[in-house]
Structure formats: C-alpha cells, structure tokens
Amino acid sequence: MARLNSHPSGRHFLQIPGPTNVPDRVLRAIDHPTIDHRGPEFQALAKKVLTEVRAVFQTYSPVVIYPASGTGAWEAALVNTLSPGDTVLMCETGHFATLWKKIAEKLGLKPIFLGGFEEGSWRRGADSGAIEARLAQDTLHAIKAVCVVHNETSTGATSDIAAIRRVLDRTHHPALLLVDTISSLGSIDYRHDEWGVDVTVAGSQKGLMLPPGLSFNAIGERALAAAKSARLPRAFWSWNEMLEANAKGFFPYTPSTNLLYGLAEAIDMLQEEGLANVFARHARHAEATRRAVAAWGLEILCEVASERSNALTAVMMPKDNTGKTYDADRLRNIIHANFNMSLGQGLARLSGWVFRIGHLGDFNDLTLAGTLAGVEMGLGLAGVPHRAGGVQAALTYLRDTARARASEMTERRAA
C-alpha cells in the first residue's frame, strides 16, 4: 500500500468536510478478522450497535443500517415511503439538496424545488417561510413529503428543522418530514424524536468518524406506516426485511461486518465524550474558524450567522480589481502540494469560487490550528489578498475558551 503513502513526511491533514479523519481506535477496530454474520458473536455485535446507535439520532425509533454509502440512504428514505408520481417538496440549499432532488426525479417522483430567499443563491438554509406558504397552498395534500438537508455540506449552511416541523404542524399538513443529516449527525445537535422527523438519513464518514460505507435511516412511526402503502419498487433498500431480521440481531443480506466493528467503537467514543460535549466542541471549533476567516478579511458563504454550520465553513474567494475571482482550486492545490492538507472544493455552481474547511469528526484544537495555518500560508503562497492574523484570532479564541474548560475539568476531577 506504499502507493497510498507518497505524501511528504508527517500526517496528512484531511480537512474536507468528510470523510473525516478516522481515529486510530476505529481503524484498529475495522481491521479485526471478519466473522460469521449468522453466528452468535455477530448477533451480539449487531444488537449492540442497532440499539446504541439510536442515541446518536436522539431517537427511540429503530435505525436501519445499510452496507452502502450515504446516497443509498437518500434513495431508501424515498422508496420506502412514497409511490410513483408522488409530489415531494424539496429545498434547494445547495449541491447535495440538488443531488437528492435528482434522485427523486430518477425514481419517478415529482419534486417541487424551493429556492432559498433568493432563488438558487446557495447561501442560506431552507426557508421555512417559503415552505409554509407552499404547504398552505396545498390544500389537497398532494405533497407527500418535505425533504430537507439539515447541514448542506456544499455550502456550510444549516436548516432549522424544528422550525420546519412547526410549519407542518401549523399548516396541519400530513406530509412526511425527511431530513438528511449526513454531515451533521454526531457533530451538530440533531433531535429526531423531539423535532418530529419521520425519516433521518445519515452516513458513516462524517461525525460518526468511520470510513465511508455505512448509511442509515432512522424511521419514525408515521414513516413505518407510510411504508405499508408506498408503491415505489424496492428490494435492497426495503425496511421491512431489514427490521424483521434486525429484531433478532441479524441482517437480511450480508452486512458490512468490519465497518460495524468500527461503528461499535465510534459509538463508544461518542458516548465517552458525551453528545453534548461533542456538539460544544464542534461549535467552538467552528467559531474559531469563523474568527480566522473574518480576520483574513474573507467572506463566509453562508449569509446568516445563525445558520452557519459547525461542521464546515465554506469561504468565498475575493475578487481582483478586474472583478475576476481568485481561483479556489489553485489555492487548494498549492495548499495540498505545500502543506499536505486536503480542503473541500467548491461543488457545481460554486466550483472555483469557494473552498471548504472541514472541522468535524475526530478533531481538536491543535489540529484546527494546523489547518488554519495551512490556509493562511496557502493564501500567502497563492497571492490571494488577505490580512494576516487569522490563525492568531482563532488561537486567541481557543485559548480564552479553553481556559474555561480547564477550570471545569479541574472541578470535575475533584468531584
């Protein structure tokens, strides 16, 4: 595998917004020998992860685990609850929302695609006002589901799921609420039960700190009921067989055994740290990153402070005198070549205009400091106009907020 290690000396900084840096404990877990997925050892493992993973979604509902990456879980959420020709209300928050919409179209659904405050601006989360207006119009309840991306990985904007739930309640609209948490679960507070979500879609390679290859549907009661009458063809993604087999600690087809080892370990790690601490950690690192961006004099893509993601920050490239935007991909390449760091590229219409800093998953202050240092040095090397001091601003914030944590730690130890 030497060919995968041709990077220069030292550890690669994988600061894309997922896959994230897989912790050593998880890597060691997944390289245990594969076991019989029909034997008692596997059964014990499956029962453990199927039960314990629910807490990460903050739900008591069943969570289905697919041996497939996240795109599959998008498809699963749709084919299990909807029928050919069904209308679904989706929100154009960015590239991934658009991909989900395309999947809906391919599967024979009829998506209504709501833009942000300004159509297609990709600088906001979902507009609950616009959703409300559209649902209010739909007096015949043609709309069968509302689909929202909680944390849009392409833009770093989050959507207020609780507000959308309130909109559904206010309009007395029976549409299901399907939410993509692929890049928020295990990083940003997300509450499947409290927010009345019907299906939550998630993947392994972000806040869950695993390699890609597992994906999830947390399934509420109304979604389970809808599955009984849903007529989209489904086999691999079908919840029925999955839930039936899961009840006994097994899977209807071969599961991804080794990634499940990793999932067991990752859940342990999240529980050891405590979900509330995990969310606070992400919030603190995101704030430090935003302070660095502000100090550089650069603009964050997400326009609204309250919607800025705690998992990633998309940064807009400045324009030169002629109005031409500095090339984000050139910057990323220079940083990759000089500082052994991968940053996220601008996707689709954002290509070349933004770069994205992932600050989620198994992460800490000094790795963030290294990350921001790489960006600041890269801006310099690439000749992108900016003010120095972004790293300094972040460090000041991290230091000042660490001080608090340090004293808390002392108290907790004393207790």
CB nearer to its own copies: give 197 or 375. 375
Specify the residue for token string 């295990």. 186
Work out whether 80 is an interface residue with its own copies (CB under 8 A). no
Total binding residues toward its own copies, as defined by CB under 8 A: 122
Stretch that binds its own copies, among 53-61, 136-144, 165-173, 332-340 (CB under 8 A): 332-340
Work out whether 9 is an interface residue with its own copies (CB under 8 A). yes
**3-state secondary structure at position 75:** helix
For residue 362, give the nearest of 203, 187, 214, 202 by alpha carbon: 187
Stretch that binds its own copies, among 116-124, 161-169, 226-234, 305-313 (CB under 8 A): 226-234
Report the half-sphere exposure of 155 (CA within 13 A, side-chain side).
31
Work out whether 392 is an interface residue with its own copies (CB under 8 A). yes
Q: Answer yes or no: are the C-beta atoms of 242 and 251 closer than 8 Å.
A: yes
CB nearer to its own copies: give 103 or 226. 103
Task: Mark 18-57 with x for binding to its own copies (rule: CB under 8 A) and - for no binding.
Answer: xxxxxxxx-xxxxxxxxxxxxxxx--xx--x---------
DSSP, res 94: S
Work out whether 97 is an interface residue with its own copies (CB under 8 A). no
CB nearer to its own copies: give 132 or 152. 152
What is the distance between the terminal CA atoms of the chain, rounded to a whole angstrom? 48
DSSP track, 116-159 = -SSTT--SS---HHHHHHHHHH-TT--EEEEEEESEETTTTEE-
Specify the residue for token string 């400091």. 369
Task: Mark 105-124 with x for binding to its own copies (rule: CB under 8 A) and - for no binding.
Answer: -xxx----------------
For residue 353, give the nearest of 317, 300, 302, 321 by alpha carbon: 317
Least Cβ distance, residue 71 to its own copies (angstroms): 4
Work out whether 11 is an interface residue with its own copies (CB under 8 A). yes
For residue 299, give the nearest of 275, 319, 279, 269 by alpha carbon: 319
CB nearer to its own copies: give 16 or 223. 16
CB nearer to its own copies: give 354 or 398. 398
Stretch that binds its own copies, among 68-76, 122-130, 155-163, 320-328 (CB under 8 A): 68-76
Work out whether 348 is an interface residue with its own copies (CB under 8 A). no
Q: Answer yes or no: are the C-beta atoms of 132 and 170 closer than 8 Å.
A: yes
Least Cβ distance, residue 141 to its own copies (angstroms): 23
Work out whether 411 is an interface residue with its own copies (CB under 8 A). no
Which residues in the 257-286 window bind its own copies by CB under 8 A?
Answer: 257-259, 261, 264-265, 268-269, 272-273, 278, 281
Task: Mark 238-257 with x for binding to its own copies (rule: CB under 8 A) and - for no binding.
Answer: x-------------xxxxxx
Integer angstrom CA distances of residue 184 from 37, 105, 190: 30, 25, 8
Work out whether 14 is an interface residue with its own copies (CB under 8 A). yes
Applying CB under 8 A, among 43, 51, 69, 87 the residue interacting with its own copies is 69
Work out whether 167 is an interface residue with its own copies (CB under 8 A). no
Applying CB under 8 A, among 276, 305, 366, 414 the residue interacting with its own copies is 366
DSSP track, 211-254 = -S--EEEEE-HHHHHHHHH--S--STT-HHHHHHHHTTT--SS-
Applying CB under 8 A, among 111, 156, 186, 211 the residue interacting with its own copies is 211
Q: Answer yes or no: are the C-beta atoms of 345 and 336 closer than 8 Å.
A: no
**3-state secondary structure at position 315:** strand
